[in-house]
Amino acid sequence: MELVCSPGLEVAVRAVWGRLAAAGLPSLARNIHPTNRPHLTLAAVDEFPPGVEHRLTDLFETALPVPVTLDRVVVLDGSAPLVWLVRPTPALTALHAAVWDVLAEADGHRPWHAPDAWVPHLSLALRFRNADLRVARAVAGGQRPTGDFDAARSYDGTDRTVTPLTRRG
C-alpha cells in the first residue's frame, strides 16, 4: 500500500531527484518506468485476502488527504537508500495502523513496514551506500516541503503495475 503525493509535493521531490542525477549521484530520476513516482509505503503483502481491497478503498477515501511535512535527508540501513524522512503526525500514524489492521489476515507482511519498525520516508535514491551524503544533502537543499498525501495505490512488484485505491490514484 502506497500513499502518493499531492501535485506540489511531487514536483518538489522530483526536483530533488533531478538535481541528484545532474550532480552525478544515484537518483530515482533514472528510473523511467511509468509507475515510478514519489510515494510513502505503508505496508506490503503477498496478496489481498477477499474483501480487503474494498475495505482499503473505503479507508483511504475517508482518511485522505493527510497533511505532510518532509524532514531530513538521510541514508537508511539495509540496502542503504537515500530518503527524505516524513514527519509522523497522529493522522499519518493512525492511518498506518488502520491499514495494518485491515491487512491483518494477509500473508507475506514485510516486517520493516510494521507499526513498531516503520520509518516513514520518500525515497530519493536506492543503493546510496558509497555515495557522498554531504553532497546529496547540499544538492537536496535544506527546505522542508509540505503538502498532502492525497491518494493511495497498490503496487504489484512482480509485474510492476499499480491499482488505484482512491479516485485520484
Q: pLDDT digits over 2-52, tens only?
A: 999 999 999 999 999 999 999 999 999 998 887 889 999 999 888 888 999
The residue with greater pLDDT, 35 or 130, is 35
* Predicted local confidence at residue 160, as pLDDT: 84
Angle, alpha carbons 70-39-118 (nearest 5°): 70
Residue carrying C-alpha cell 501535485: 7
Query: Topology of domain 2-164, per CATH?
Result: Cyclic Phosphodiesterase; Chain: A, (3.90.1140)
State the pLDDT confidence band at 158, using cuts at 50, 70 and 90: confident
To the nearest whole number, what is the mean pLDDT of the chain?
91
Domain ranges across the chain: 2-164
List Cβ neighbours of 65 (8 Å cut-off, separation of 6 or more).
6, 148, 149, 150
Look at residue 87 and tell me whether its pLDDT is greater than 70.
Answer: yes
